[in-house]
Structures are given as C-alpha cells and as structure tokens.
Amino acid sequence: MGIAKIKGISTTKSFARSCKELKKKGVKEDGLYYLSTANGVLYQTFCDMTTAGGGWTLVASVHENNIYGKCTIGDRWSSQHGNSAYMPEGDRSWSNRVIFGTVEAATSDDYKNPGYYDLKAQDVSVWHVHNDAEVEHWKMASILRYHTQTNFLHLYGGNLYYLFKQHPVKYLAGDCNKDRGPSVPIVYDLGNEETTTNLYGPYSKAQIVPGFVTFRVFNNEKSAMAMCSGVKPTGCDTEAYCIGGGGYFAESSYQCGDFTAFAWNGYGTHAQWSVARELIESAVLIFYR
Amino acid sequence: MGIAKIKGISTTKSFARSCKELKKKGVKEDGLYYLSTANGVLYQTFCDMTTAGGGWTLVASVHENNIYGKCTIGDRWSSQHGNSAYMPEGDRSWSNRVIFGTVEAATSDDYKNPGYYDLKAQDVSVWHVHNDAEVEHWKMASILRYHTQTNFLHLYGGNLYYLFKQHPVKYLAGDCNKDRGPSVPIVYDLGNEETTTNLYGPYSKAQIVPGFVTFRVFNNEKSAMAMCSGVKPTGCDTEAYCIGGGGYFAESSYQCGDFTAFAWNGYGTHAQWSVARELIESAVLIFYR
Amino acid sequence: MGIAKIKGISTTKSFARSCKELKKKGVKEDGLYYLSTANGVLYQTFCDMTTAGGGWTLVASVHENNIYGKCTIGDRWSSQHGNSAYMPEGDRSWSNRVIFGTVEAATSDDYKNPGYYDLKAQDVSVWHVHNDAEVEHWKMASILRYHTQTNFLHLYGGNLYYLFKQHPVKYLAGDCNKDRGPSVPIVYDLGNEETTTNLYGPYSKAQIVPGFVTFRVFNNEKSAMAMCSGVKPTGCDTEAYCIGGGGYFAESSYQCGDFTAFAWNGYGTHAQWSVARELIESAVLIFYR
C-alpha cells in the first residue's frame, strides 16, 4: 500500500476560488466542483450556475436532525451543549472556521465548508430543500428559493463569517428592538411573499414582513438568533421565525436548537407559533455570490 | 453531473468508481485507493483484491465504541439521541447520504464512505476485525469473514442505501415474523457455521440458523435492527444477534446502540444472551462487489 | 499563502511524508501543504519552516470548547462519554488512528491528522495559540512556544501514537509517583521558565518544575493524563497542570475534560489551582520533527 496509490490525483492547474470565478471561465452546468481557499485548502461543493446569472457557491446548510433535542448533538448552528448560560455563543459555528458535513449530505445533516469564511462575496441565495433530497433533485425538491441583489455583504466584510463577528450571535449581546443586524430585500426565485408568510405559524404573521432576509436578532429574553429566512421581524418572539442561535434561551430550553421554537405548539401543526411541517422538514441551503 | 466535474482537480485520467473496476483494469494488490462517485466526489477506501476473485470495495464499518452507552455519541448506526420513540429511525445512517470516519480508523470508529450509496453492486462481503487493528493487518486480525454470491443486491437497487429505503430500519414499521428483509446465503472465507454460532450467546442458538446474512429485522417489541451478521433469525429476540437499528427499543434502553444487546447478560461473558468478547471487540466491515 | 501552495497536489510525483522532507527539498515558507502517509492517505496541514531550522509538521491541537462540560461532546482528547469508570481510557484518541478537525480550525476545535500516527519523528514542538486565531496569525497569537531537541521520540516508536501505546492514558494503569512517562527538557521559542510557571495556578507552583514537557502521568486517584505542557510534575495534583486524559477521574467529574481541572477554583481566576485565563483560552498545537 504505497504512494503509487494516489498518483491518480493530479493536475498542473490551480483551482478556482468560487463558482462565480468558474462561471466567468465559462462553466455553465450546475453541479459539484472543486474550489480552493486563499490558503490552498481544497474542497468540493455545489455550484448553482443558472439562477439569476449563476455563479452561486453553496457554503452551508442548516438542517434540523431532531427538533425534540434541546441544543443536543447535531445542533451545530446553535449548541450541542444543552441550553446553558455558560455558553452564550453556543458552538459559535456562525463566526468560527470549524467546518462539518459534506455536500452530498447537505439536506440530511448540517453542512459548512471553507467557502463560508473564505469567499469574498456580495450577495446570498437561500434554498429551502426537502430533507434527504439528492443533489440531482435539489431544485425540484425546493419549497422556497430567493436571493439578494444589493451587494450588502460588501458592507460586512464579504461573507457571513465576518458579518457575525461584527454582530455576535450571543445571549445578552443586544436588545430585540435596538440591535437587529441587517434586513436585506430579496428577489424570489421560487415562491413569493404570501407563500413565505404561510410557512410560519399564524401567530407570527403579526411580527414578520416577508420579502427580506435578516441576520442576527434578539428575542424578548435577549437570546440571539442568526437568520430569519425570507422575513424581517417587527416583533420579539423571533424564536418562532428565526433559526440558529447562541447557546442559551432564557425563556425555555425548548427554544434551543438549530430550528429554535419551530415546533412550539406541536410538530408541523402549523397552529399558533408552530411552522408548517414542510418548513421543519427542509434544510436551509446558503449560497454566496 | 459526472466524472468531468472533477477534471478541475485532476488529471487526464478519470477515477475508477469501484474496486471491481480497478480489478478489471488489472490492479491486483490489496490496499487503499482513490475512487470517485457518479457525481465526481473523490474518496479513499480499502480494496480487497484477493478474496474470491477480488474487486471488493470497503464501504462501511460498524464499531461499538461504548457498549454501556444507550444510543449515545458514537452510535451512528443506531442513534446518538438516546432511546426515544420520537426518533423511530434514529440517526438514519443506513438510508441517508451522511458519511463519517476514515478508512485508516475503520476498526476504531464507525465508518461510512460515499461508495455505500453510490456503487451499483451485486454482493456483500463482511469481515469482523478486532478493534484498532491497523489496515495492514486486518485480514490477520479477522475472527470471521464471508461473502454472498447470489447477486441479491441487484433486486434491491444495487446497494444497502436503496435496500434500506425499501426496508426502513424504523420502530413499528413491521412485525418480527412477517416483515423480515432478505436472508442471503453466505460462503465462508474465514470460519464456518459452527464458529459463527459460537460467537453469539448460548440462548441465541435456538433462534438462529448460521450460513446467512440477514437485513432489517424486528424484535418482539417491533424495534428495528439493520443486519444479522452470519445468521438467519428464526426467533424474535433479535437484539441478541443483530446490529444497528432505529432509535427506539421499547423493551429497554439498554438494547439501544450499534451493538444492541450484545452485553445483555454482562460484557463479553458469553453467558445466556451475551455474545463472546471477541465479537463485541471487533468492528464489522462491509464490502460491496 | 496562496494557490501555489497546492501545486503540491498538482503533480504526478509522490507527496512528501512530512514537513521535514519538504524542508530538505528546499521549501522555506510557513504555510499549508499536502502530505501523504505511508499508506498513501493524503492530508493537508501546517508546516513551521522557520523555528529552530524548520521542518515541523503540525499533527494535533488540544482545544477546550466547554470547560463546564465534564467529558462531554468536543472532549476528544479525554472522553465524550461522561466521567465513567467503564471507560478507563476514554475516547482513546491519544493511542488510536481516529482523526478529527481541520488545520484551518485548529485553534477553534480539536484537531488530529494522520501525521500523528504516521510520521517517524525525533522531537516535538508545542505552541499555545489563542483560540480562534487564524492560521496566518498563529505565531503572533501565541503565548508560549517551545520544542525538544533530545530525539526522545526515537525511544518511543517515533511518535506519540506509539508512545501512548507503551504508556496508556488509562485510569488505574499506574501510580502518581512510580509510573510517570518521559519528562523531556525543552528549549523556549517564546516565553521562559518564569512565564510558564505563571500560566498555572499559584498552588501548582510547589508541584511543577518548568523547562520540560511530560507525557502520561497519574494523579492521586490514579486517573491518567496525557501531557503536562512546559512542566515536570513533582506532585500528584496533576489535574491542575496536565491536559487530556482517560475517561474517569475518581475525585470529581469536574476534572474530566480536555483541560482537566484548569478552572477548579473558577474560570480564569488564576487563584489557588485555577490557571490563567489566557491558558484556558489557548489551543495547544503539537508538532513533530
């Protein structure tokens, strides 16, 4: 068993750093490609080469593996250490360089690749894709797809890693109404403002404005969440419509987890604060361009 | 999305998709090789090029890291979320595309590579290899090795990923006697029917027929297990001789874990329902061809 | 550190097995490089090409993700299974081939690459680097750096994997005073004997001699620890100044974890047995040459 075994892996070309770069080189087909970070770290991810001009790099997915767990194993976008005030930032995945998961399992498990912190991007695209959909069928298995086009990331260091360093997803780091991060208008690629609103619980309607994606918000108890997909909050029960978060939710440990309190009034009941079953059972894929 | 996709990373040559393909190309030596999935995902695994004509691709290993844990961290082939009726399928590793582990640690930790869901195969080969044996010594450190030769996988989608989609490893998805998955006759490469029977507990002898490998069975309480290595169950205390499983064992949380109830009457005592110590302390390596 | 760095992967030649080998080939720049194990397993890690002649390969980092956890998830250098006498060796990472983490996240999470068990080395180098420092800034973000120059690893199989097979990190495997592993004199690259002593708690001063790195020690209760960084113990309260360990600490579960009892008298208080905050909040990077 020797070195000869790996002779197959070889090229003299350097790699693209993003799908946008590949697009500029003329690559037109959606699919899996190898990219390289500024440090020369090689990784493989999915490129969306068709939406709104293409060139979108998949950098992460947020997947709820067990809504009954309360910041337990698999809650990598909140905390795997239980609901604990000792860990106000939880696992800190939004603002560190830890990576996890694989692109082919991005709808079955949390996923984060080096592009999340390496790319210099302007906009994000978000797909909600049904759990366990295979990469060949992601587009078909989507229930909501949208992107921004304001170049907002340019103001926050060029990616979410730097955005969340500026706006920590940390318990007690701010107040609900005073300290929200950016709310960015979105363009729908699948769905619209009405279908977006209908994915969340009926009680949430009075607190959300569809047509935006919002980053880093606090709820009534000053617990932090990372992302409100498709909406701008106007209220403070953000655990009902925002995902990810720090490691402590003061009102109830039941709010601690990647999908926070999406099942607050029962799993997939779509009653009161509970979101629609199709939303709980879809992974949130995050792209940069 | 095909081999072309990884041209970025390599090479004028494309990679083989299986050890069987490498064997056809004339590769004869056991060892670690790079393979590529249909989507161009590159991975490295062990090829057995000598058993029964060779061309066997290692795709997974089931390793018990803590028999005292009850569906706790490291129980990736059952559940890492505790014994819970809320998770009737547990971590779902048998039927999703999540991968874990590395080939060089396949006897020290659970292992699953993309070949598990990507290959189109006909038969399986199984090695029970003592924990922590180094890859160079796996064959020597085996206590049982066998393979099928009936092309049975052809009837189940070509691999275990599709077989378990047809036969979910899910609590309450079937009854012990009515709903067993395939029992396939095996050919021994190391050991025989007597040594197989002697690995399991004395109470199990009345419930197993050696000389087969069986997939997806239920016990008396309708809890699901994935694989009965070397045997065909005729009874319903399957937690004593079948491994892996869903996330809920109704009789006792002590049955929940990658190696189920193998220590039911003490660790390695080989008394009543307890298996032999050498079986608990060996990883189950699964190959396709 | 740019694309050029991965030209290593772009060749039909075989890969270097260590940074020392790259150094001999004339590579002079610190950075990330691809290496290959004897089995042809390819991985990427950081090479220190400047300290004391360079050629140092990063093989591991020990990072405390939650000092309040007691052998919980993320305690890969002790145990993730809770404080348990059933697991006297814990997760066994010091003496098995399981790998985890990535080089770019080595200051944000535990890290272990195949070099840890594959390299044949003579000496170790250790850096204490502030958590979350980016690889470009590791040297600047260090609070302590030192290396050995006695070729001691030659006597222990050439790396820590073999050293810890000879000296198991296992509860009850030895006595505090009789069974310590090697204490090796160090040369400081940043800091000195006084700064080393001052990183540990004031009560520890009477039990440590700075200017050494020590491997595999036992405390009063025969609980095992893997490494005492910068010091040689003369006492038996080793949980206050040695890290890593087996899976059981008989005096208190509070001692179980990657950084053992470093917060015994409060987090970062530097009072009594508690270490300085900067030590708790730095990852311990381990290099071979």
Which chain B positions have a beta carbon within 8 Å of C96's beta carbon? 105, 108-109, 132
DSSP A12: S
Are A137 and A118 spatial neighbours (Cβ–Cβ below 8 Å)?
no
Q: Note whether B86 contacts A68, CB cutoff 8 Å.
A: yes
Copy the structure tokens of residue B150: 């009936």
A–B CB contacts, 8 A cutoff, strictly below? 99
**Residue of B67, B92, B70 lying closest to B82 (CA atoms):** B70
Tokens of C122: 């003579």
SS3 for B264? coil
Cβ–Cβ of C68/A84 closer than 8 Å? Answer: yes
The owner of tokens 């894709």 is: A129
Strand-pair partners of A145: A127, A190
Among the partner-chain residues B11, B32, B39, the one whose CB lies closest to the CB of A5 is B32
How is chain C classified by DSSP, letter by letter? --GGGGGGGSSSSPPPSSHHHHHHTT--S-EEEEEE-TT--EEEEEEE-SGGG--EEEEEEE--S-TTSSS-TT-TTS-SS-S-TT-TTTT-GGGS---B--GGGTTTS-EE-THHHH---S-EEEEEEETT--GGGTTTTEEEEEEE-S-GGGGGTSSHHHHHHHS---TTSS-TTT----EEEEEEEE--HHHHHHHS-GGGGGGEEESEEEEEEE-TT--EEEEETTEEE-SS-GGGT-B---S--SS-GGG-STTTTTTTTSTTB-STTPPBHHHHTEEEEEEE-
Give the model's pLDDT for residue A69: 86
Closest CA in chain A for residue C75: A81
CA nearest to A33 within chain B: B5
Closest to A255 (Cα-Cα) out of A85, A88, A67, A116: A67
Q: Is A29 helix (H, G, I), strand (E, B) or coil?
A: coil
Q: Under 8 Å CB-to-CB from B22, ≥6 apart: which residues?
A: B16, B33, B35, B47, B49, B55
Q: Does A85 touch chain C (CB under 8 A)?
A: no
Cα end-to-end span (Å), chain C: 22
Chain C CA closest to residue A14: C3
A14 vs C: CB within 8 A: yes
Q: What is the pTM of this model?
A: 0.95
- How far away is chain C from the Cα of A44, in angstroms, using its nearest Cα? 15
Partners of C44 on chain A (C-beta within 8 Å) are 40-42
Interface B-C: count of C-beta contacts within 8 A: 50
Q: Is the dihedral of CA C213, C214, C219, C223 positive or negative?
A: positive
User: Looking at residues C123-145, what average pLDDT do you find?
Assistant: 98
Across all residues in chain C, what is the average pLDDT? 94
Q: Does C73 touch chain B (CB under 8 A)?
A: yes
Q: Which of B104, B129, B134, B138 to mutate to test the interface with C (most CBs of C within 10 A)?
A: B104
Residues A209-235, mean pLDDT to the nearest whole number: 98
Helix (H) or strand (E) holding B32: strand B31-36
Q: What is the rounded CA–CA span in Å between residue C262 and residue C272? A: 10
How many residues are listed for chain B in this entry?
289
pLDDT at B9: 41
Mean pLDDT of B189-206: 98
Q: What is the pLDDT of residues A79-88, one digit of tens each?
A: 999 999 999 9
Q: What is the pLDDT of residues A36-71, one digit of tens each?
A: 999 999 999 999 999 999 999 999 999 999 999 899
Which chain B residues touch C86 with a CB distance below 8 Å?
66, 68
State the smallest CA–CA distance between residue C195 and chain B in angstroms. Answer: 39
Contact (CB, 8 A) for A244 and A80:
no
| Touching chains, B (3+ CB pairs < 8 A) | A, C
**CA nearest neighbour of B246 among B79, B99, B86:** B79
Smallest CA–CA separation between A38 and chain C, in Å?
A: 5
CA distances from A133 to B72, B83, B123, B212 (A): 26, 26, 26, 33
Task: Name the region of B194 (left: φ>0; alpha: ψ -120 to 50; beta: rest).
Answer: alpha
Give the closest-approach CA distance of A228 to chain C in angstroms.
26
- What integer is the mean pLDDT of A116-122? 98
Burial of A140 per CB tally in 10 Å (0-12, 13-18, 19+): exposed
- Other Cβ atoms closer than 10 A to C100: 18
CB < 8 Å to B8, chain A: 11, 13, 15-16, 22, 33-34
Give the CA angle between residues C85, B267, C173 to the nearest 5°.
35
Question: Which phi and psi (to 5°) does residue C164 adopt?
Answer: -80, -15
Share of chain A above pLDDT 90, in %: 94
Q: Is C132 on the interface with A (CB under 8 A)?
A: yes
Question: Does C134 contact A at CB distance below 8 Å?
Answer: yes
pLDDT at A183 over 70: yes
The reply to whether residue C37 touches residue B104, judged by beta carbons under 8 angstroms, is: yes
CB of B37 less than 8 A from some CB of A: yes
Average pLDDT of the residues in A208-237? 98
Cα→Cα distances C152→A89, C114, C160, C216, Å = 41, 21, 11, 14
Question: Do residues A230 and A186 make contact, with C-beta atoms less than 8 angstroms apart?
Answer: yes
Chain C residues with CB under 8 Å of A5 CB are 39-40
User: What is the phi/psi pair of residue A166, to 5°?
Assistant: -75, -35
Please say if the pLDDT value at position C235 is more than 60: yes
Question: What confidence tier does B8 reach under pLDDT thresholds 50, 70, 90?
Answer: very low
Q: Is C52 touching B (CB cutoff 8 A)?
A: no
Tell me whether A34 touches chain B (CB under 8 Å): yes
Cross-chain residue pair C41–B104, CB shorter than 8 Å: yes
Contacts of C83 in chain B (CB under 8 A): none
Residues C64 and C252 sit within 8 Å (Cβ to Cβ): no
Tokens at C24, concatenated = 């001999």
Q: Does A162 touch chain C (CB under 8 A)?
A: no
* CA-based nearest residue in chain B for residue C165: B132
- C155 pLDDT above the threshold of 60: yes
pLDDT of residue A14: 78
- What are the tens digits of pLDDT across the range A130-174? 999 999 999 999 999 999 999 999 999 999 999 999 999 999 999
CA distance C97 to chain B (A): 5
Residue of A47, A66, A103, A267 to mutate when probing chain B, most B C-beta within 10 A: A66
Q: Say if strands C224-228 and C231-233 run parallel, antiparallel, or are unpaired.
A: unpaired
Count of residues for chain A? 289
Q: Is B33 on the interface with A (CB under 8 A)?
A: yes
Distance from CA of A148 to the nearest CA of B (A): 27
Nearest CA-CA distance, residue C87 and chain A, Å: 20
Report yes or no: B86 at the C interface, CB cutoff 8 Å. Answer: no
Subunits next to A (3 or more Cβ pairs <8 Å) are B, C
* Burial (Cβ within 10 Å: 0-12, 13-18, ≥19) of residue A96: buried
Q: How far is CA B102 from CA B58, B173, B279, C145, in A?
A: 11, 32, 22, 31
Question: Which chain B residue's Cα is nearest to A66?
Answer: B87
Residue of A nearest to C71 (CA): A81
Contacting residues of A for C15, CB less than 8 Å apart: 3, 6
**CB contact, 8 Å: B281 with chain C?**
no
**pLDDT grade for A13, boundaries at 50, 70 and 90:** low
Chain-centroid distance of CA C106 in Å reads 11
Identify the closest residue of chain C to B109 by CA–CA distance: C98
DSSP secondary structure of A102-139: -GGGTTTS-EE-THHHH---S-EEEEEEETT--GGGTT
Searching chain B, which residue's CA lies closest to the CA of residue A75?
A: B81
Q: Is C29 on the interface with A (CB under 8 A)?
A: no
Partners of B66 on chain C (C-beta within 8 Å) are: 81, 86-87
Do C68 and A80 lie within an 8 Å CB cutoff? no
Residue B80 contacts C, CB cutoff 8 Å: no
Answer whether A32 touches C (CB < 8 Å): no
> What local confidence, expressed as pLDDT, does residue C216 receive?
98
How many other CB atoms are there within 10 angstroms of residue B168's CB atom? 18
Q: Enumerate the β-bridge partners of residue C213.
A: C184
Whole-number Å distance between alpha carbons of B226 and B173: 13
Pairwise CA distance, residues B256 & B229, whole Å: 18
Q: Does the beta-carbon distance from B97 to A103 stay under 8 Å?
A: no
- Chain B contact for C40 (CB, 8 A cutoff): yes
Handedness of CA C199, C203, C205, C207 (dihedral sign): negative
| Cβ–Cβ gap B81/A66 under 8 Å | yes
Check the CA dihedral C125-C131-C134-C138 and report its sign.
Answer: negative
- pLDDT score at B13: 53
Question: Which of A38, A81, A86 lies at the smallest CB-CB distance from C2?
Answer: A38
Report residue B128: phi and psi, to 5°.
-100, 110
C39/B104 CB distance under 8 A: yes
Q: pLDDT at position C234, please?
A: 97
- For residue B164, the surrounding DSSP H or E stretch is helix B160-166
Element (H or E) spanning A288, and its range? strand A282-288
Q: Which chain B residues are closer than 8 Å to A47 by Cβ?
A: none
- DSSP conformational letter for B238: G
C43 bridge partner residues: C35
Residue A10 clears pLDDT 80, i.e. is over it: no
For residue B192, report the phi and psi dihedrals to the nearest 5 degrees.
-155, -175
Tokens of A261: 């309190």
Question: Counting Cβ atoms within 10 Å, is residue B68 exposed (0-12), middle (13-18) or buried (19+)?
Answer: middle
Integer distance in angstroms from the first to the last C-alpha of chain B?
23
Q: How confident is the model at residue C14 (pLDDT cuts 50, 70, 90)?
A: confident
